A and B are shown apart, each in its own frame.
Chain A
């Protein structure tokens, strides 16, 4: 069964039959976490780096922003029995337009926010497929913890 994560959304699961998937990540980032022992995990699709852009929106939908969404992703997976020390963390997305000006670099800033937040919490990113000009689809298989990324104009590859 597929659990679909929309823009600015999240899904967590402990059901080995489930695959969590998010489509069409442009400059947004799809972040997966998975505990291979308790076999629980989740996927967050955040759109923007900082909740300070719109604190009101961050109240109603914290998953839209890296700084409010990422901690909640971990917490929700802990609630299902995930352990921080075992957590496998993978990320995809953060694409950019062909831009030399820096006016349109939300993708890049989404990547920077990711490293900053995870770094501050001593969490390593195990694998990532970020940047470039491609749209990406990400799938997390709850049975195996395998993460698959499909880039636009390309096949699907394991991350």
Chain B
């Protein structure tokens, strides 16, 4: 069996993606979805409900009176926030564990994922775009391929590192050259196997190579930008470091200047502090 076959084989050993979260993802894609539809899907899932209430009552929202039920949560924090909490809490199980190949301790890939999701909100604000749970989800899940590829990266780390150092490749290119597949490509395949909506699949698949995306250009470019800004801050940074290509074209696409990135980073620091309380809970 060659390496790519072995990688694809190990995808089948991933835990199943929670059906209730998958259903929420599908609902979010449908413009006719109402808040009530979402509440109906999750209300029988105790762990999702408990998680929603925990986050609602955390410092992040700073509510004066505590929230006791899903219905109340919806009224107090709104539909987008509710969906984002469900998706965040519902996917932490995937990202929380350590990824040895990338030299990430317990919780570090999760920190990076949450930082990217928060950046999608910050950038949407700055670009005067409507906040979208789809964009949020693409940013949150963009590194899902690392969860599977980590073991293979660990086993071939020296070779990957040599390619990065001697051939001047990005970490992604070195993964591809060494293993025959990289974490973005693999992530796209995993997302497809879980039947994620095609725009989220594209966001994951092309988060390092936004110009190769055949469609969903805006979502993919933003997912890319969220990732590179998070990498620059070092939040949940691993063995791959900052060995990824910076594309000024994405900055030009949004008419962003260097100063904008600095302000985005300042904003991210405050928001990370607010989520700190539940970042350490898998």
Which residues of A does B touch, CB under 8 Å? 7-8, 24-28, 47-48, 53-54, 57, 61, 64, 95-107, 132-135, 151-153
A-contacting residues, B233-273, CB 8 Å? 233-248, 251, 258-259, 261-263, 265-266, 269, 272
A135 touches B263 (CB 8 A): no
B246 touches A104 (CB 8 A): yes
A103 touches B246 (CB 8 A): yes
Known interface pairs A24-B236, A101-B248, A153-B157; A8-B241 also in contact (CB < 8 Å): no
B103 touches A153 (CB 8 A): yes
Expressed in whole angstroms, the Cα–Cα distance for A8 and B263 within the complex equals 14
Interface residues on B, range: 35 or more
B63 on the A face (CB < 8 A): no
A135 touches B266 (CB 8 A): no
Give chain B residues whose Cβ lies under 8 Å from the Cβ of A151. Answer: 241
Our pick among A26, A54, A101, A134 for the contact of B233 (Cβ within 8 Å) is: A26
Tell me whether chain A's interface is mostly helix, strand or loop, or mixed. Answer: loop
B245 touches A135 (CB 8 A): no
4 extra interface residue pairs, beta carbon distance < 8 Å, beyond A64-B266, A106-B261:
A48-B266, A53-B259, A57-B266, A105-B258
A106 touches B240 (CB 8 A): no
A152 touches B266 (CB 8 A): no
B170 touches A27 (CB 8 A): no
Expressed in whole angstroms, the Cα–Cα distance for A86 and B261 within the complex equals 37
Which residues of B does A touch, CB under 8 Å? 103, 108, 157, 161, 164, 170, 228, 231-248, 251, 258-259, 261-263, 265-266, 269, 272
Best-surrounded residue of B235, B243, B248 (most CB of chain A within 10 A): B243
A48 touches B262 (CB 8 A): yes
Give chain B residues whose Cβ lies under 8 Å from the Cβ of A53. Answer: 259, 262-263, 266
A133 touches B242 (CB 8 A): yes
28 intermolecular pairs with C-beta atoms under 8 Å apart? A7-B234, A7-B272, A24-B236, A27-B233, A48-B266, A53-B262, A53-B263, A53-B266, A54-B263, A54-B266, A61-B269, A95-B234, A95-B242, A97-B228, A97-B242, A98-B243, A98-B245, A98-B246, A99-B245, A102-B258, A104-B232, A104-B246, A106-B262, A134-B242, A135-B238, A135-B241, A135-B242, A153-B103
The distance from the CB of A150 to the nearest CB of chain B, in whole angstroms, is 10
Specify the chain A residue showing the minimal Cβ separation from B234. A26
Our pick among B235, B261, B262 for the contact of A24 (Cβ within 8 Å) is: B235
A152 touches B258 (CB 8 A): no
The distance from the CB of A101 to the nearest CB of chain B, in whole angstroms, is 3
A26 touches B231 (CB 8 A): yes
B266 touches A107 (CB 8 A): no
B262 touches A97 (CB 8 A): no
8 cross-chain pairs, A with B, having the tightest CB-CB distances, nearest first: A26-B234, A101-B248, A99-B246, A135-B237, A97-B246, A24-B234, A153-B239, A133-B243
